[in-house]
Structure 1
Amino acid sequence: MESREVIRRLRRDGWSLRNMSGSHHHFTHPQKPGVVSVQHPRRDIPIGTLRSIFRQADWDWRTR
């Protein structure tokens, strides 16, 4: 999955861009705790990193 697709999905779910640090975009959600960081631009996000993003965003891995 590309970083562009992950960012699009985060925004649809209500996450907003809080900060950018180099190539990393940091997103926060008004009702979910924590910060989700996504490296952008990135063609293919490694599977372990992608699972971590899904966990932080409180998404179900099986519905990706």
Structure 2
Amino acid sequence: MKPKELIKILKEHGWQIKNQRGSHIHMVHPSNLSKIQIPYHNKDLKPKTLNSILKQAGLK
């Protein structure tokens, strides 16, 4: 899955982009103030990285 697709899914679940530093996008959820970082590159995310981000976001 490309980072752009993941960001779209997270936005549908209420996550908002806070800022971007270098090649990482920082997102925050307004209801519980959780934070996650997404590496924003032009290639697919590794499966382990994707699973970790989804767990942190509460989607898995």
CA drift of 1:42 comes to 3.3
Runs of 4+ in 1 over 6 A off after TM superposition: none
1:1-64 matches, cutoff 5 A:
1-60=1-60
Task: Report the aligned-residue RMSD.
Answer: 1.2
Distance 2:31 2:42 in 1: 27
Q: Aligned partner of 1:31: which letter?
A: S
Distance 2:20 2:2 in 1: 18
CA drift of 1:32 comes to 3.1
CA drift of 1:33 comes to 4.1
Unaligned runs of 5+ in 1: none
Unaligned runs of 5+ in 2: none
Cα distance per residue 1:4-44 (max 9 Å; x no partner): 10000111111111111101000000113421111113321
Q: Counterpart of 2:17 in 1: which secondary structure?
A: strand
